[in-house]
């Protein structure tokens, strides 16, 4: 009964086959690929907190300078329009020196996250406006679909795990937090910054682990969504390679056209060498065109008979030479000079033909 099951799958259009390379390429052109937004978020967060961990001292000094600079400038400079303009530009530059590295790290991490998942890919089709995207019925179906339920469960799991990791990280530093009231402002801020950065690294690391699992799920879901039925694969093959029936008709038409052109050249031949019934090879010698005699037409069985008929109607001499006719048919192509090993035999036949016609060889 296995064959019956396969036939039912074929005719029912059940998508049981892996996507072909063309289907995958078409999906990428539409902007569709296995991708997890959690991977982007996790890598960006981890990259930012890692930057803060490495360059914390540098950014701290820039941040302090950002607050101290305008106070110093106001005390030492006149409050004129030009002075305020210079002050504003200076504050802006120092603000960029603080925020700039963080923004660049987030941008680089976001690009890296996308490249890791989908590689180099750009598609404008994904941002095209489509009315079906704002269809309330389809939107309602998406909200209450199985995919939406899975996404909800994933979100709850992420919030739970990240909360536990954050709570554990803060709990480990609880003694330091309780002593903040006994420290000065600078030391308190340094301790809070250290706790924040390390907690952020732990939380983003946990999110990165969850994101890797989510990516595996998204890849599985994507592979499932682009599966094809046997009928779709067959149709794709026909589209790429062409319908076999049409291809056979084209080949037949090409053969007919080639045959017609060949028959038009037979009357110009100097001689037709025959088998006598199965093979016929028409030769011509034109020293302005080729240095050796060349084949203007050849055929087997029915085609050979047709060549002989056309030659007879146009008074083209026919010479019977069984081994030479068979050898020329198998080794010489239409429009090409005969091989060198046949020069002597063909020369003797042409000399006889020219003598018979009263030509000089």
The C-alpha atoms of residue 94 and residue 101 are separated, in whole angstroms, by: 12
Whole-model pTM?
0.54
**Range 278-282 average pLDDT:** 86
Using DSSP's 3-state secondary structure scheme, residue 275 falls into coil
Of 5-19, 46-60, 94-108, 210-224, the least confident: 5-19
255 plus 163 within the same structural domain: no
- Give the end of a domain, one of 193, 227, 261: 227
**Half-sphere exposure of residue 210: CA atoms within 13 angstroms, side-chain side:** 22
Residue 53 lies in a domain: yes
Tokens of 350: 């042409």
The domain in which residue 219 lies consists of: 33-119+132-227
For 36, phi and psi rounded to 5 degrees? Answer: -115, 125
In tens, the pLDDT along 184-210 reads: 877 888 888 888 889 989 999 898 998
168 plus 262 within the same structural domain: no
For the cut 80, the answer to whether the pLDDT of residue 76 exceeds it is: no
60 plus 147 within the same structural domain: yes
The C-alpha atoms of residue 241 and residue 237 are separated, in whole angstroms, by: 6
What is the band of 10 on the pLDDT scale with cuts at 50, 70, 90?
very low
Classify residue 315 as exposed, middle or buried by CB count within 10 Å of its CB (0-12, 13-18, 19+): exposed
- Select, from the ranges 16-30, 161-175, 271-285, 327-341, the one with the highest average predicted confidence (pLDDT): 161-175
Residue 171: the pLDDT is 92
End-to-end CA distance of the chain: 77
The distance from CA 242 to its chain's CA centroid, rounded to whole angstroms, is 22
Classify residue 276 as exposed, middle or buried by CB count within 10 Å of its CB (0-12, 13-18, 19+): middle
Residue 126 lies in a domain: no
Tokens of 80: 């004129």
| Residues comprising the chain, all counted | 361
The long-range contacts involving 195-202, CB below 8 angstroms and separated by at least 24 positions, are 195/169, 195/170, 197/49, 197/52, 197/53, 197/56, 198/53, 198/169, 199/166, 199/169, 199/170, 200/45, 200/48, 200/49, 200/52, 201/46, 201/49, 201/50, 201/53, 202/165, 202/166, 202/168, 202/169
Answer whether 275's CB lies under 8 Å from 320's CB: yes
314 plus 342 within the same structural domain: yes
221 plus 331 within the same structural domain: no
- Give the end of a domain, one of 195, 227, 259: 227
Percent of the chain whose predicted confidence (pLDDT) is above 70:
86
48 plus 178 within the same structural domain: yes
84 plus 194 within the same structural domain: yes
Query: Positive or negative CA dihedral for 243, 246, 248, 254?
Result: negative
Answer whether 283's CB lies under 8 Å from 346's CB: yes
**Contact residues for 203 (Cβ-Cβ < 8 A; gap 6+):** 45, 162, 165, 166, 169
Q: What is the CATH number of the domain that holds 291?
A: 3.40.1690.10
250 plus 344 within the same structural domain: yes
For the cut 50, the answer to whether the pLDDT of residue 1 exceeds it is: no
Residue 72 lies in a domain: yes
What is the band of 360 on the pLDDT scale with cuts at 50, 70, 90?
very low
For 176, phi and psi rounded to 5 degrees? Answer: -65, -40
Answer whether 296's CB lies under 8 Å from 282's CB: yes
């Amino acid at each position: 009964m296995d064959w019956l099951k396969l036939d039912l799958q074929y005719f029912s259009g059940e998508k049981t086959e892996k996507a072909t390379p063309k289907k995958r390429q078409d999906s990428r052109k539409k902007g569709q690929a296995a991708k997890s937004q959690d991977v982007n978020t996790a890598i960006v967060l981890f990259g930012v907190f890692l930057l803060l961990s490495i360059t914390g001292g540098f950014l701290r000094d820039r941040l302090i300078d950002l607050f101290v600079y305008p106070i110093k400038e106001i005390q030492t400079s006149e409050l004129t329009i030009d002075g305020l303009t210079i002050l504003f530009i200076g504050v802006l530059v120092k603000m960029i020196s603080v925020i700039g590295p963080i923004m660049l790290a987030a941008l680089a991490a976001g690009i890296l996250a996308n490249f890791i998942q989908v590689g180099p890919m750009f598609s404008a089709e994904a941002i095209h406006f489509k009315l079906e995207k704002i269809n309330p019925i389809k939107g309602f179906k998406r909200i209450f679909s199985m995919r939406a339920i899975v996404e909800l469960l994933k979100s709850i799991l992420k919030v739970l795990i990240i909360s536990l990791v954050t709570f554990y990280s803060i709990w480990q530093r609880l003694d330091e937090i309780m002593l903040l009231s006994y420290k000065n402002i600078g030391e308190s801020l340094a301790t809070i910054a250290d706790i924040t950065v390390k907690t952020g690294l732990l939380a983003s690391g946990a999110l990165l682990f969850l994101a890797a699992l989510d990516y595996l799920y998204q890849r599985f879901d994507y592979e499932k969504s682009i599966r094809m039925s046997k009928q779709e694969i067959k149709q794709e093959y026909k589209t790429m390679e062409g319908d076999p029936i049409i291809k056979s008709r084209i080949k037949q038409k090409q053969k007919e056209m080639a045959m017609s052109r060949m028959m038009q050249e037979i009357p110009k031949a100097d001689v037709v060498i025959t088998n006598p019934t199965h093979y016929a090879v028409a030769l011509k010698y034109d020293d302005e065109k080729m240095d050796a005699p060349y084949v203007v037409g050849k055929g087997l069985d029915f085609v050979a008979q047709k060549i002989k008929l056309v030659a007879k109607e146009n008074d083209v001499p026919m010479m019977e030479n069984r081994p030479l006719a068979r050898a020329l048919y198998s080794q010489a192509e239409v429009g090409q000079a005969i091989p060198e090993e046949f020069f002597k035999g063909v020369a003797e036949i042409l000399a006889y033909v020219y003598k018979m016609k009263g030509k000089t060889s």
